[in-house]
Chains A and B, each alone.
Chain A
């Protein structure tokens, strides 16, 4: 069981209020992702759950039990740090066994659990090496191994993939998702990368300046963003926003259209513009278009859409895919 509940949790460092008040429930077995721009308080929120920071006010419950004042070790959570935080002078085996040793578990049971974790994470042949002799991806696995041997109520990950190269990041993303499928333990995962959030999460929590902007499944956030910030943050490339007269025609202060929701034509359409840069990915082409009104939008075209720099182009949003926002940026 690992149901984590935050009740009006606030956190201030001195005079600076970093988390102005968060209410949130993460269900048992859920993969929750905190996502938001850098500096929005994701790590702070995670560290509050872990017990590495004290809350300024509010309560944190794990399985209904108030742990607000409990030290980290009592919360039965395991954390994987961005820097991996492996113990450099211990072998991989000792690193993974360290929490078990601290719990005074019998030696045989320790070895059994280490062996099991090593098997799951493909670390068998590295057990007697030091962390310094491992690659980034292997260190990441050791850090995860150290977390799973404790069989915690929940795992906390703080941007665990940000130190890996792009290819490895995709692999580890899949591995962590698989690990979640196998263990079915609650995971709370912090990232600034919306692709990680979309691909891994059961539930995404979008944060801005310490506030929860929206909570929901990846597709719910994609299809029904609550406000302009979430709409702009989720989806890649970002949603295009058009203000002014064109928006007024849709009865809104501002409208948003995702790059993949334009119909393109070389002869007619709702908005006319000139093709700037065309990014060819093979499967798709992303066209940067300067609209006649002055707005700059991105449109996704098929791989072989026949336009090039300087050509005229017409864009029409798909009718049911126009997002309307009022003056405050809330979805209308």
Chain B
């Protein structure tokens, strides 16, 4: 990128993808915005009209809105906490030279390759089921009363399930960062009399701070819209106990066939994710899934029919 000529050429070369991406993001966003100011219910065709902020007022005064907002924030914070702290720990653990290192690393990363719906179903039926789940068996084995996790602690259960899925991602990023820590720096600190804990706080953590920021940013974007895991486990319940904003939009719109209201909710709930474009390396798999989810949220009817959403995230 040294000369003006090269820069011009570079602009031409990237132009098609930039234009395509812009259209890909701008068009749905613009349509969602437009619908959010319309009365647009699929049960009442031909009645479309401009109704200002009514859709927003309707969504924000919904009895579930504040619970869903709190749940969304709790979910994001909880999952971030588990995946960052756990990720740092796991990364440091599998960075140690051990026998079968390659296999261990592959196993640690495995959950990331399981589809969200599948992993949520596995957790629901094989682990957390109060009758024949693994945890119930364990509880009975020690003579305790099995816990109905999804019924009694729905939000916590979903946090655990989603954290399990995101832990490998955090571990991978943090491990890469850890491996780039200069071993001579660690040795210098050792000679300077720093204990293992002091080396961790003064050297390892500051070194990983940028990677931790990246993990938090990327995960936040995706965690704001957790959907499939809720759909296949608790359906947002009991009550609104495990409903987040994305799920609220979905359930409202699905029940009421109200495209206008759903669009307003989508704008409220989905807005932070529009900044995703600024992040260069969001994983493709999740990205495709996310777009599917956004689509669900804004156009639930089509999502049930022949939608472009990814398989596995479709409400079954």
Contacts and interface: CB of A to CB of B under 8 A. Distances in A.
Given A81-B184, A102-B198, A87 B190 contact: no
Interface in B154-202: 182, 184-185, 187-195, 198, 202
A50 B198 contact: no
Contacts of B202: 87, 90, 98
A83 B182 contact: yes
Nearest to B209: A89
Interface residues of A, number: 24
Contacts of A81: 184, 187-188
Contacts of B185: 85-88
B206 A79 contact: no
A234 B184 CA distance: 30
A146 B185 CA distance: 13
A50 B190 CA distance: 10
Contact of A85 (B187, B206, B207, B209): B187
Nearest to B188: A85
B203 interface: yes
A77 B191 CA distance: 7
Given A81-B184, A83-B184, A98-B202, A89 B207 contact: yes
A102 B184 contact: no
B206 A99 contact: no
Contacts of B206: 87, 89
A169 B282 CA distance: 46
Interface in A55-80: 71-73, 77-79
B295 to A, nearest CB: 42
Q: Would you call the interface of chain B mostly helix, strand, loop, or mixed?
A: helix
A221 to B, nearest CB: 30
A307 interface: no
B187 A52 contact: yes
A103 B187 CA distance: 16
Interface in B22-41: none
B308 to A, nearest CB: 45
Nearest to B187: A52
A82 B188 CA distance: 11
Given A83-B182, A85-B182, A72 B190 contact: yes
Nearest to A79: B191
Given A73-B193, A88-B207, A98-B189, 15 more contacts: A51-B191, A73-B192, A79-B188, A81-B184, A82-B184, A83-B182, A83-B184, A85-B185, A85-B187, A87-B188, A98-B194, A99-B191, A99-B193, A102-B192, A146-B188
Interface of B: 182, 184-185, 187-195, 198, 202-203, 206-207, 209
6 contacts: A71-B190, A78-B191, A87-B202, A89-B207, A102-B192, A102-B193
